[in-house]
A and B are shown apart, each in its own frame.
Chain A
Amino acid sequence: AQSVTQLGSHVSVSEGALVLLRCNYSSSVPPYLFWYVQYPNQGLQLLLKYTSAATLVKGINGFEAEFKKSETSFHLTKPSAHMSDAAEYFCAVSGPGAGGFKTIFGAGTRLFVKA
């Protein structure tokens, strides 16, 4: 069975500062890992995904995430925050379950960006 834990329901950074959103996962098999972003009044949008290729994954809008098997982590980072990054971010893990593959989402981390 898979599970995802996102550390911190809210993260606040200043514009231009480093963004670090934490995600730890649990999976009985090598996982597929994802980060999604939800802007106000929109659906979830795929930011990036890890599918067992390179451990450092680059996504859209300057975000990247590193898969660390030893730490069971998949933290999301961006070197310099922009006001437009303010949104809610969801980490997700996908793996086999009853009835086929299932994707499990974390509780989300809301990112605030201060001017």
Chain B
Amino acid sequence: DVKVTQSSRYLVKRTGEKVFLECVQDMDHENMFWYRQDPGLGLRLIYFSYDVKMKEKGDIPEGYSVSREKKERFSLILESASTNQTSMYLCASSLIRRSNQPQHFGDGTRLSIL
């Protein structure tokens, strides 16, 4: 089975801090995604990547950046955390760049910005 691992289940940071969320997948998937999930808003795509060192903006990229230096690892960076970035963050991966591939999700990181 595909395993997508997010480095922290719960994280508490302060306003203005630089925050790193890490995600690793073990199945050599090409595609990786970062979503945030908020009550009533569903999942919203922040950034995604089809290849190493490649990134594309999703629906809500403002205030975030990403890094993909190795195929198995996709990092989400909050450059200067703000309270409105308190949320559940979900990482996902899928096999290849084709539209019929299901996504495999990690268990999420619940991030609180104080």
Partners in one complex: no
Q: Which residues of B contact A (CB under 8 A)?
A: none
Q: Which residues of A contact B (CB under 8 A)?
A: none
